[in-house]
């Protein structure tokens, strides 16, 4: 076949095919990062949870609604494998296990440190090889200055950054002037990991320190402390201490910083989750003032932006749950959007996520239900199993996890298209315009809805369904972003 005919066929396919990529909604191939500032990635420095295992740290990071971790060397891997730790010398078999655990959890190790980088190329290559294998972007270290020539060479070879961290006095890099002088003349692959808390302990104003490192800041360990200039000061909830937190974020915005901001909370070690939730809430409220991505919580924790019958839904520690067979609806209406959320099932749970409901009194015939169901282990899912557009379109697979584990939905609605990812796998790619008849699906099977889906409103409330019987389902990290038409 001649090249012209091939080109014409391809052109026709991509222009006229109902599944053509040009018509696909945004972000259908991956769960999007839901950070609130365009260019900043908020994550956890695993040292925050050094009383726990690495796998527990991953689970806690996911529970906080964050996507990123900065791992440190030596953290015990799991309760089951007490002899193993997260470290660059772990065996290939353990690395593969860790990668799978991270992938299943939707979490990425993006930084690694603080780790030694001595003036020994062989030892440094071991760290860089590990970072490359784990897709780590930045190695955080406090290397000797006579190692910088070799480290800069490795950075450029591996395309991996090194960020110089500052512990407090009397460590070598406690003063930002020392860091600025040390990285001067080297490539942009070497910069600073700015630890605001250690600066405060050393009596250094974090904003002034950031100014001295302008253009060389690669990542940050962010803290707010209860006292200035006291080496024994401890962490407090962001915005309540001595850091002038909003000024720090304002300075990063002024410098057009792009990178990872790691929460390193070194207080309330055994029960820091409530404090961390408050830190994140403060950060989100403050950071989105500068360069917002458009992501926000669909439901407020006090349910003040919801439509529901009082007593039917509660939110505790960021987890939404129903006590009755009743709905939780957004007051705001949405048309084109990405909805990102997590849900957990009990054995036998039956719930649902409802999209674009134009009439909450007749929700059955004025909205689209994405099924939430304990269908773990089903080999050939139907139009009623988890991930289905209920009674209309079965999912292409069944990646739902066993009861008791958190699942991750990303639901994109863009005009006539609905695309659903469940636990990282695309399971629904629906063209509403194909549903032209009431009570009938395009494949000839019947459905229970007295309106054709192509005729449903393209704007409406988003909702969660309550109990079916006495079996609960739980939801958390429910975030939404409006898309342009």
Are 394 and 408 within 8 A, CB to CB?
no
pLDDT in tens, 278-329: 999 999 999 999 999 999 999 999 999 999 999 999 999 999 999 999 999 9
Indicate the DSSP class of residue 118. -
Both tokens of residue 79? 């309760």
Are 266 and 234 within 8 A, CB to CB?
yes
Give the per-residue pLDDT at 14. Answer: 33
The span from the CA of 430 to the CA of 327, in Å, is 24
Indicate the DSSP class of residue 400. P
Tokens 């079965």 map to which residue? Answer: 394
- Please report the sign of the dihedral spanned by the C-alpha atoms of residue 129, residue 130, residue 135, residue 139: negative
Give the per-residue pLDDT at 29. Answer: 54
Burial 367-387 (b: 16+ CB within 10 A, else e): bbbbbbbbbbeeeebebebbb
Are 264 and 223 within 8 A, CB to CB?
yes
Counting as low any pLDDT under 70, the low residues of the chain are 1-30
Of residues 484, 481, 454, the one with CA closest to residue 32 = 481
Of residues 262, 298, 289, 285, the one with CA closest to residue 67 = 262
Give the per-residue pLDDT at 468. Answer: 83
Would you put residue 256 in left (φ > 0), alpha (ψ -120 to 50) or beta? left
The span from the CA of 279 to the CA of 265, in Å, is 10
Q: Are strands 296-297 and 40-45 parallel, antiparallel or unpaired?
A: unpaired
Helix H or strand E encompassing 372: strand 368-373
Of residues 179, 43, 60, 61, the one with CA closest to residue 112 = 43
Give the per-residue pLDDT at 401. Answer: 97
All structural domains of the chain = 40-292 (3.20.20.150), 298-482 (2.60.120.560)
pLDDT in tens, 174-194: 999 999 999 999 999 999 999
Give the per-residue pLDDT at 12. Answer: 38
Tokens 């600025």 map to which residue? Answer: 180
pTM: 0.91
The span from the CA of 69 to the CA of 338, in Å, is 24
Q: Are strands 425-431 and 319-322 parallel, antiparallel or unpaired?
A: unpaired
Indicate the DSSP class of residue 360. G
């Amino acid at each position: 076949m001649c090249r012209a005919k091939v080109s014409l066929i391809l052109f026709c396919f991509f222009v006229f095919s109902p599944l053509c990529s040009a018509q696909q909604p945004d972000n259908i191939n991956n769960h999007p990062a839901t950070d609130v500032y365009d260019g900043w990635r908020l994550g956890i420095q695993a040292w925050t949870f050094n009383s726990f295992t690495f796998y527990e740290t991953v689970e806690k990071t996911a529970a906080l609604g964050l996507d990123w971790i900065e791992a440190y060397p030596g953290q015990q891997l799991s309760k089951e494998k007490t002899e193993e730790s997260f470290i660059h010398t772990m065996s290939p078999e353990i690395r593969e296990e860790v990668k799978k655990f991270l992938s299943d959890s939707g979490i990425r190790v993006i930084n690694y440190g603080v780790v030694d980088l001595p003036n020994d190329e062989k030892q440094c290559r071991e760290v860089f090889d590990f970072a490359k294998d784990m897709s780590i972007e930045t190695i955080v270290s406090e290397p000797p200055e006579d190692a910088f020539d070799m480290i800069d060479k490795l950075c450029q070879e591996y395309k991996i950054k090194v960020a110089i961290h500052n512990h407090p006095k009397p460590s070598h890099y406690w003063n930002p002037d020392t860091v600025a002088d040390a990285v001067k003349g080297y490539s942009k692959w070497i910069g600073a990991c700015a630890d605001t808390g250690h600066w405060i302990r050393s009596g250094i104003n974090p904003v002034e320190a950031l100014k001295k490192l302008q253009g060389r800041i690669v990542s940050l360990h962010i803290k707010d402390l209860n006292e200035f200039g006291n080496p024994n000061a401890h962490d407090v909830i962001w915005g309540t201490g001595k850091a002038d937190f909003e000024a720090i974020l304002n300075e990063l915005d002024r410098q057009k910083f792009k990178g990872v901001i790691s929460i390193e909370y070194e207080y309330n070690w055994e029960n820091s989750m409530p404090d961390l939730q408050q830190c994140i809430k403060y950060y989100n409220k403050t950071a989105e003032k500068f360069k917002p991505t458009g992501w926000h919580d669909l439901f407020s924790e006090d349910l003040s932006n919801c439509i529901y019958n009082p007593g039917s839904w509660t939110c505790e520690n960021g987890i939404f749950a129903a006590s009755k067979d009743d709905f939780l609806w957004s007051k705001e209406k949405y048309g084109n959007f990405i909805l990102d959320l997590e849900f957990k099932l009990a054995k036998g749970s039956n719930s649902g996520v409802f999209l674009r409901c134009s009439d909450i009194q007749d929700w059955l015939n004025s909205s689209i239900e994405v099924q939430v169901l304990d269908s773990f282990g089903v080999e050939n899912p139907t139009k009623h199993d988890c991930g289905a557009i209920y009674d209309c379109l079965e999912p292409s697979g069944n990646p739902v996890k066993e009861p008791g584990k958190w699942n991750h939905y990303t639901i994109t609605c863009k005009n006539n298209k609905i695309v659903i990812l469940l636990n990282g796998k695309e399971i629904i790619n629906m063209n509403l315009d194909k549903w032209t008849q009431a009570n009938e699906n395009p494949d000839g099977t019947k459905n229970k809805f007295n309106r054709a889906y192509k005729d449903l409103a393209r704007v409406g409330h988003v909702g969660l369904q309550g109990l079916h019987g006495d079996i609960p389902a739980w939801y958390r990290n429910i975030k939404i972003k409006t898309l342009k038409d």
